[in-house]
Amino acid sequence: MSTAVADSHDVHDHHGPEKGIKRWLFTTNHKDIGTMYLIFSLVMFFIGGLMALVIRSELAIPGLQFVHPEFFNQMTTMHALIMVFGAVMPAFVGLANWMIPMQIGGPDMALPRMNNWSFWILPVAFGILLSTLLMPGGGPASGWTMYPPLVLQTGNAFPFLIFSVHLMGISSIMGAINIIVTIINMRTPEMTLIRMPMFVWTWLITAYLLLAVMPVLAGAVTMLLTDQFFGTSFFLAAGGGDPVMFQHIFWFFGHPEVYIMILPAFGVVSEILPTFSRKPLFGHDSMVYATASIAFLSFIVWAHHMFTVGMPLTGQMFFMFATMLIAVPTGVKVFNWVATMWRGSMTFETPMLFAIGFIFLFTIGGFSGLMLAIVPSDIQYHDSYFVVAHFHYVLVPGSIFALMAAAYYWLPKWTGHMYSERAGKLHFWLSTIFVNVTFFPMHFLGLAGMPRRIPDYSTQFADFNLVASIGAFGFGLSQLIFVYVLLTSKKGAHASGKVWEAPRGLEWTVPSPAPYHTFNEPVHVDRTVAFPQENP
């Protein structure tokens, strides 16, 4: 199959992109679609970020100052939905689109028209979701977890919430299918599976996770829809249904979803560390096995989100032990990264800084995750700000830092110019300082007894909330530096094909900026260039 596709593209060898809006509407080019995904996710990142700032403004001091509790709940709900489905997930799909074909030596994604469709569904989905804020009764306010019966009290926004989630799911499923088919079929012949770069490996596993769980989410929200409009009682106790069943189904989706947002981040970090340590990734194969183990375990730990719903003791024990086990492959990953840096020859360009920041801060999020696995303590932490601190540590200096690292790492390959290293470093340092100022005090708030998702709080929580709010504004403003970097990205010096001193991987064998079509024919490659895990 890969040969056939390569042949048909030969005809268009020097065929450039169309001009104007049609290029973007009808494009089937993986690079164009990747760019659109990345820009879309950045826009969503700022919209979701503005909502976070509304939340932090209200929480800066005790008492209600800016918004009503109803609107506050809409903000927490929309912030989460937009950041999860609109910012982090599409950003990783955008990276996959750009980089996977170039890393495996394939000409494009295997299913280019579906690729176009899976992107263009997203603006529609989020247009619908955002429009609910203007509807009578406002947007959804039941949390992104959409627990019944509360979610059934949503106003006119309810069906729009469900349909937008359906659309996001369809987009993700199509993206996942495309990535799997591309990786399996489009590799250049010398690229055996185990030789694939870690970013490709982590995405292959992530795509299977998506394929497995997005339909489960679709099923869960469809049952909500029929409970609301068609008289079913899947989750309504009055009709013989079970509100807790929704939580089981939701988290069967929701826990693998967590790894969908972090496994590609692991991949990115595993690409960047060897480049700037000038040393191969330590334990490439064990990294693959660790990723696969994490993916497997992610399916059998879902109820650790639900230790307070009243489960049988044996059930609680099973989910506690399974959850603790995740620390083992995750630990292997962290140890391997440290071993990659060990006795390397490191330089600290912006991508490397973000990758190192990722390891430090993601590990802190991992520690609080381990603490949360211990059931009796979890009963105290559950639904408190401790949990908010935990998942923001793994998502912001985790997933988001990895995305930033990836953007800086591959930006010269995309634009053909070096970005401003000064601005990039400033972006890193300010982000790192403020992300900790924002989220570290939340551990303390949760331990002291502050529940999450409340618009106002008792005065004893005032101090750390003010600190967190100041940090949030600092973090939000720091992200504008990234916009500056992007806007000035074509002003820097011309980048060579290699860009960095010692990168390995096929993407560095093509010129910068990468031509509109790359690898139209299967390539024979110098192994030391192509396969990062092999010694130079």
Q: What are the residue numbers of the active site?
A: 79, 108, 144, 171-172, 255, 257, 259, 270, 304-305, 330, 333, 452
Counting contacts by CB under 8 A, is residue 341 touching another protein? yes
The Cα–Cα gap between 312 and 332 comes to 32
3-state secondary structure of 494: strand
Among residues 38, 102, 129, 141, the one that binds another protein under rule CB under 8 A: 141
CB 23 to another protein: min, Å: 41
Span interacting with another protein, options 45-53, 192-200, 305-313, 409-417, rule CB under 8 A: 305-313
The Cα–Cα gap between 278 and 268 comes to 16
Counting contacts by CB under 8 A, is residue 69 touching another protein? yes
Counting contacts by CB under 8 A, is residue 304 touching another protein? no
Span interacting with another protein, options 18-26, 102-110, 140-148, 475-483, rule CB under 8 A: 140-148
Nearer to another protein, 391 or 461 (CB): 461
Cα 515 to Cα 53, 110, 286, 397, 497: the distances in Å are 40, 18, 34, 32, 11
**Concatenated DSSP letters of 267-282:** HHHHHHHHHHHTSPPT
- Residue type at position 469: S
Counting contacts by CB under 8 A, is residue 57 touching another protein? no
Nearer to another protein, 66 or 296 (CB): 66
CB 96 to another protein: min, Å: 25
Please name the residues in contact with 471: beta carbons below 8 A apart, sequence gap of 6 or more: 434, 435, 436, 437, 438, 439, 441
Counting contacts by CB under 8 A, is residue 477 touching another protein? no
Binding positions for another protein, 85-114, rule CB under 8 A: none
Among residues 1, 309, 480, 483, the one that binds another protein under rule CB under 8 A: 309
Binding positions for another protein, 452-471, rule CB under 8 A: 453-464, 466
Among residues 51, 262, 272, 281, the one that binds another protein under rule CB under 8 A: 281
- CB atoms near residue 98 (< 10 Å): 24
Tokens, residue 480: 């504008």
Among residues 3, 8, 380, 488, the one that binds another protein under rule CB under 8 A: 380
CA dihedral 250, 252, 253, 254 (to 10 degrees): 70
CB 102 to another protein: min, Å: 23
- Residue type at position 495: A
Nearer to another protein, 38 or 165 (CB): 165
Counting contacts by CB under 8 A, is residue 523 touching another protein? no
Counting contacts by CB under 8 A, is residue 325 touching another protein? yes
Counting contacts by CB under 8 A, is residue 139 touching another protein? no
Binding positions for another protein, 417-456, rule CB under 8 A: 443-444, 447-449, 451, 453-456
Tokens, residue 11: 């005809």
| Helices (H), ranges, 60-197 | 69-81, 89-104, 112-131, 157-185
CA angle, corner 358, sides to 494 and 172, nearest 5?
A: 80
Counting contacts by CB under 8 A, is residue 361 touching another protein? no
- CB atoms near residue 463 (< 10 Å): 12
Q: Residue holding tokens 């490397």? A: 352
Counting contacts by CB under 8 A, is residue 70 touching another protein? yes
The Cα–Cα gap between 267 and 204 comes to 10
Tokens, residue 309: 């719903």
CB 76 to another protein: min, Å: 8
Among residues 244, 300, 426, 529, the one that binds another protein under rule CB under 8 A: 244
Nearer to another protein, 206 or 363 (CB): 363
Among residues 25, 193, 379, 480, the one that binds another protein under rule CB under 8 A: 379
Binding positions for another protein, 201-240, rule CB under 8 A: 237-238
3-state secondary structure of 384: strand
Among residues 42, 111, 157, 332, the one that binds another protein under rule CB under 8 A: 332
Sign of the CA dihedral with 283 first, then 285, 291, and 295 last: negative
Please name the helix (run of DSSP H) or strand (run of DSSP E) that holds residue 441, with its range, or none: helix 421-448
Nearer to another protein, 226 or 345 (CB): 345
CB 296 to another protein: min, Å: 15
Counting contacts by CB under 8 A, is residue 20 touching another protein? no
CA dihedral 62, 66, 69, 70 (to 10 degrees): -170
